[in-house]
Structure formats: C-alpha cells, structure tokens
Amino acid sequence: MAHIPRKRFGQHFLTDRVIIDGIVDAIAPAEGDALVEIGPGLGALTLPLLERMPASSRPLTVVELDRDLAARMRKREHIEVVESDVLKVDFGALADARGRRLRVVGNLPYNISTPILFHLLSFVDRVVDQHFMLQKEVVDRMAAGPGGKDYGRLSVMLQWRYQVESIMDVPPEAFDPPPRVDSAIVRMLPYEQPATLDPALLEELVASAFSQRRKLLRHSLGRWLEGRGYGGHFDLQRRAEEVPVAEYVALAQAVGA
C-alpha cells in the first residue's frame, strides 16, 4: 500500500537518484562507522547507504516518528528502528550502544529543523559528523559569515562548535511532493578542541545581541552586560551581525570567568 505523505510530519520524500547518489558520496560510509539516520521516510537514502556500508558498520540505526514508516523499516535487514520523536532521542545512549561516536544524517523535517539542530548540539561530543538536507535558507544562515543578513543567532551558536559547509543545492522537483522552497545539503564537522565555555551563557549572550539587530549593540548587548556586572572592554558601537563568532565566544568566556 502506498504511503501518503503526512503534512503534520513535514514529509517530502526524496526521489531524484542523482541527488541521492551525490549525498551518499558526500557521506561516504566507511569501515566501523556508526550511522544514524533521522527521518528515513520510504528509504530513499537509507537503502543506498546500506548498500555502501561495510558489514562491520551495520546495523544502520534510523529514527522515525511515523509508526507506519517505522513498521516498514522493521521488515528490512540490517536496520535498527528507534520509533520516537527525534527531539526526545538520547543520542549519547545511541553512541554508547554502538561503542563509538555517531555519524548522523537525514532529510530533516523543515518545520522543526532548528530545534533538531540545537538538540543535537547537546550531544556534539558524541558525534563524528552530520550531513543533513534542510531548507536552503536555513543552510545559508547556518554557514553565513559576519556582515550579511543571513548571519545571526543560528550562525554563531552552530559555528562556535562546528565547521559548517553547504555542499549541494537541491531543487523542489527532487521530492515527492515538491516542497515550496529550495533545499540544500549541509556538512557539519565538530571541532575536536572547541573553546571552553558555558553554552547556556553563550546562547543568552547571543540572543541578547541579536534581539535588536538593526540597532547598535549598546542598546541590547550593552544592557545585558551591565546587568551581569561586566567591566571589561567590548566594542558596542557595532551591530550584532558585524561581530565574528570568535569575538562572541571570547566575550562569553570573559563574562563566565
């Protein structure tokens, strides 16, 4: 029986074989990998990944909320199904079960892509890399450098911990049903030795900075720093989008100290 895509799950199934092959080539499954796919859907990416996975890397773990799709996946060999909302999945426990860090992939539901990225951020030390299909607009924001309209809270909060690279654009016609937006594939490589800081403090600091992005930082971040009793120097005669990630990180470290 054909599966009817469910709008409440944001289901758009990838069907373009050239695009699928390009994604699998980018992921390049290797000996000993612990692969986890979020939202396998009908298996468009799952099955080609399985074909490329060495026996030592199996099973492929998939996280699927749709019970009908999860049941389909359980019928296939070398697939381990976690039937759950991805925002409730303990990726640390998955890494422990496999005895190694994870490689996380998937065509993420566009309606909750940002919450998923932040959820995974809390498990970043258990991850080798991440390859995701996302709305192109979101990928542009993730990978943006300072000085442009795409650079914002999402850019800073991901780039302090990952090297983020947009590696492929994907048109709507590559899906069934086609989404109303362009898509892109993003590669996220965690830094092996990230800056030592309190992530919650950085998030609060960055949220304050971008709360009034059209105004100079003295109107937003400046007041936040005053409330924290920070007496150091930071150039507040700039807009939030002009400050590089490294400066936000250094400020969070100074405030936290």
Residue ranges of the binding site for S-adenosyl-L-methionine: 12, 14, 39, 64, 85, 107
Per the DSSP assignment, residues forming a β-bridge with 185 are 133, 168
Tell me the CB-side half-sphere exposure of residue 223, using CA atoms within 13 A. 10
Other CB atoms within 10 A of residue 38 CB? 23
Contacts for 100 with CB less than 8 Å, ≥ 6 apart: 32, 34
Dihedral sign of CA atoms 130, 135, 138, 144 in order:
positive
Question: How does strand 127-135 pair with strand 79-83?
Answer: unpaired
Read off the DSSP letter of residue 144. Answer: P
Give the annotated binding-site residues: 12, 14, 39, 64, 85, 107
Contact 179, 236 (CB under 8 A): no
Helices (H) and strands (E) in the chain, counts: 10, 9
How far is C-alpha 63 from the geometric centre of its chain's CA atoms? 15
Residue 255 CA to residue 3 CA, distance in Å, equals 52
Other CB atoms within 10 A of residue 35 CB? 24
